[in-house]
Amino acid sequence: MSNNTVFQAELPASKHATDHATSLPHQPTTILVDNQESIQAAANPRSRNTTSREICKSLITNKLIHISWIKAHVGYDGNEEADRLAKEAAESDRDPLSVKAPISFLISIFKKKIMEDWQSDCEDEYTGRSTFNILQKVSTQPCYWKREEILFFTGHCPFPSYLERFNFASTSICPCGNTNDTPLHYATECILTASFHMTKPAQQHAKFKLIILQNIKIQKIHLRTEISVMHTA
Ligand SMILES: [Zn+2]
């Protein structure tokens, strides 16, 4: 059972125990619970959870009833028996949980699902592959790239292949004659940008992401200079 399911299962049990204690003749009763979350919820009269509020109300009106924490799985007979019954109930189909999941729990579930869908969409896309090669895992955290780095890693730079796509250049071939017109070509092998070259990664690793991973700071300075020069050329 997840933490939340334990909470959802223990709260009705605590409510049941409190109701039972209320029906008993006038005598002090202590209900022992091994889930601190349930105790905190029961102690909060403003809890968003109806069951928690009901337990809290019973405890306020019946001063002889107390809820207290007990350490789990250390051999207390009553607690072990409650644990056994909880497991039995969890494995059976009867009595679906009547306590609604907390909003915080639902938010975390939805967030996880949204991130999974986003990741899956990202992996199945055809466009934006050069960026995906570098940032393969989606994240809500901003990625602080400078303008020149964005231009370089997305390939949206003043390279012939990019300009040709929008009819700003008649050919996609690099002026040096190389037909491999990629940002990597300019960064590592083009004779026209030789003074800005960075170390070329091994052929089997010739991906931008590996360039970045290798000595990222120096590479970025090189890139910024190179793109700036190309822009003003
Ligand atoms: Zn070239």
Q: What is the pLDDT of residues 162-190, one digit of tens each?
A: 888 889 888 888 888 888 767 778 888 88
The pLDDT value given to residue 120: 94
Q: How many whole angstroms from 164 Cα to the centroid of ligand 1?
A: 15
Residues 220 and 134 in one domain: yes
Q: How many whole angstroms from 175 Cα to the centroid of ligand 1?
A: 6
Residues 65 and 136 in one domain: no
Residues 94 and 140 in one domain: no
Q: What is the pLDDT of residues 97-137, one digit of tens each?
A: 666 677 777 888 899 999 999 999 999 988 888 788 778 88
Q: How many whole angstroms from 63 Cα to the centroid of ligand 1?
A: 85
Residues 146 and 191 in one domain: yes
- Its domain, for residue 195, covers 129-231
Q: 109 lies in a domain?
A: no
- Is the Cα torsion angle 198, 202, 206, 211 positive or negative in sign? negative
Task: Answer with the residue of higher pLDDT: 208 or 128.
Answer: 128
Task: Answer with the residue of higher pLDDT: 219 or 140.
Answer: 140
Which residues lie closer than 8 Å to 72 by C-beta, 6 or more apart?
34, 79, 83
Residues 160 and 82 in one domain: no
Residues 139 and 227 in one domain: yes
Q: How many whole angstroms from 147 Cα to the centroid of ligand 1?
A: 22
Residues 95 and 134 in one domain: no
Q: What is the pLDDT of residues 133-162, one digit of tens each?
A: 778 889 898 888 888 778 877 888 788 888
Please state the domain count of the chain.
2
Q: How many whole angstroms from 190 Cα to the centroid of ligand 1?
A: 4
Q: How many whole angstroms from 87 Cα to the centroid of ligand 1?
A: 68
In this structure, what CATH number is given to the domain that contains residue 25? 3.30.420.10
Among residues 48, 79, 100, which one ends one of the domains? 100
Q: How many whole angstroms from 177 Cα to the centroid of ligand 1?
A: 6
The answer to whether 70 and 79 have CB atoms below 8 angstroms apart is yes
Q: How many whole angstroms from 51 Cα to the centroid of ligand 1?
A: 71
Apex 169 CA angle, 164 and 173, nearest 5: 75
| Whole-number Å distance between alpha carbons of 158 and 29 | 79
Q: 185 lies in a domain?
A: yes
Q: How many whole angstroms from 191 Cα to the centroid of ligand 1?
A: 6
From residue 88, alpha-carbon distances to 85, 94, 164, 172 in Å are 5, 10, 68, 69
Q: 222 lies in a domain?
A: yes
Residues 202 and 134 in one domain: yes
What rounded mean pLDDT belongs to the chain?
Answer: 78
